Amino acid sequence: MHPEVSGLRSDRWYFYRFRAGSAISPIGRTRTAPALVASPARLRFVFASCQAWNDGFYTAYEHIAAEALDLVVHLGDYIYEDAVSGHRTGRVVESHLRPEARDLSGYRLRYALSKAEAPLQRAHALFPWLVTMDDHEVDDNWAGGTSGLDFDIDIIPPLFRRRTAAFQAMYEHQPLRIAQLPTGPAMRLHRRYRYGDLAEITMLDTREYRSKQASLNGTLTTDRARRSRTDRSILGGAQRDWLIEGLRRSHARWQIIGNQVVMAQTDHDPGPATVVSTDAWDGYTADRDTILGEATDHGTRNLVVITGDRHENYAADLRRDHTDPESPVVGSEFTGTSVTSGGDGVDTYGHGRRLLAANPDLKFFNAQRGYVRVEVDSRLWRNDFRIVPYVQRPGAPVHTRATYVVEDQVPGVVAAWSPDPPTERSGPIDELAEPETGDPVIHVYATPGP
């Protein structure tokens, strides 16, 4: 069900539940955004990505549920299409779940598997969510009409059938508006949300419209000529123009871009060569240069990109031209680690040290699991990297590994090592069973299907 309820007051918590026949859901809650003309004092949200059920327990969501938040943003890889084994956690997997998802029933089963996890249910019930997709909602490293592993093979018909099934399952299981209702293999996921005059959140789709990667499966390459071609795009021309026009017209203090793959240059070679993955924005440098250049020329205020995909935490500066180390810093990017994907992870290791040595604009690296907590007001963006020490067994504690800030009208990230702020518990779902007197409960009814 995707009800769109009208007539609600702005900037207020609402409680709701669903009824389908004789079944009644637990009570959840959501929060409406401030009015467009309002000047909210702050926005508090977390962003998360990459939650392979195979790889661990969703402990991060237990801690997200204890945060005092206005919003949860999910940047993709909510499910993984590949075969399910549960080998890292010892959980038993039924045989019908094991094959890779390729049709509607397979994708539906993946969402059902994830949503059976109580911590994820709790986080959905407590907060409104903004979601987009990355590759694993369909197929690893897919690009437009091309599967990631079929670089030079035209497989548009079978991939489009797969996209049709994957998009239908995503729409059925995610909090998406009717405007996101898919039409076959097409689904409009790029959209904007205003939070008064404080922030505008622009959610991107870097999969559906992109050109295929400049190297097989987006693997590392030194080939700059192919990845910088102007006829290749990660957004597609229409979405790119829509993004630029939105940045030009917005008067919000903070411009937040919800993005799937890393935008800043990520050189994997500390030596003279530039070795990058072409699945990220490094494979589509013409689009990156155009967007960052237009944002600079039109005076976009406080451009901050939030990103998933890498299963690693980064804090990085964005330059107008990443090939020129003297080019001005024009924005900031925070990449969040995975919820579970990759298993327990480590704080840092050789790969991370090489990235820090090769990329002066990369200020922080960590490869543990968790999520990112953000608090933004009129003066400051505060970014807390929240990590758990393990996910292959339940019950891990959480702590803030590092804090970085962005000052109003001062592009770039700055380390600010500070203790955790006091935690305001929102309470588990069972504490929401009876809303406070006077709080409205929205009842949504569904007619059972045949």
> How does pLDDT run across 98-108, given as a tens digit for each residue?
789 999 999 99
- pLDDT the model gives residue 422: 43
Average pLDDT over residues 207-217: 93
pLDDT more than 70, % of the chain: 90
CA distances from 259 to 18, 108, 320 (A): 31, 24, 18
Q: Helix, strand, or coil here: 203?
A: strand
Examine the pLDDT at 143 and tell me if it is beyond 70: yes
> How does pLDDT run across 153-208, given as a tens digit for each residue?
445 578 899 999 999 999 999 999 999 999 999 999 999 999 999 999 999 999 99
- Identity of residue 263: M
- Identity of residue 169: A
User: Would you place residue 23 in the very low, low, confident or very high pLDDT band (cuts 50, 70, 90)?
Assistant: very high
- Give the C-alpha separation, 42 to 199, whole Å: 9
H/E segment holding residue 399: strand 399-407
- pLDDT the model gives residue 9: 97
CATH 3.40.50.2300 given to domain 28-432 = no
Q: What is the pTM of this model?
A: 0.92
DSSP codes joined into one string, 278-341 = TTSGGG-HHHHHHHHHHHHHTT--SEEEEE-SSSSEEEEEEES-TT-TTSPEEEEEEE---SST
Region of poorest pLDDT, from 353-362, 396-405, 437-446: 437-446
- Give the C-alpha separation, 42 to 395, whole Å: 31
Residue from 172, 202, 201 nearest 190 by CA = 202
* Residues 73-86 as b or e (16 or more Cβ within 10 Å = b): bbbbbbbbbeebee
- pLDDT the model gives residue 433: 42
User: Would you place residue 318 in the very low, low, confident or very high pLDDT band (cuts 50, 70, 90)?
Assistant: very high
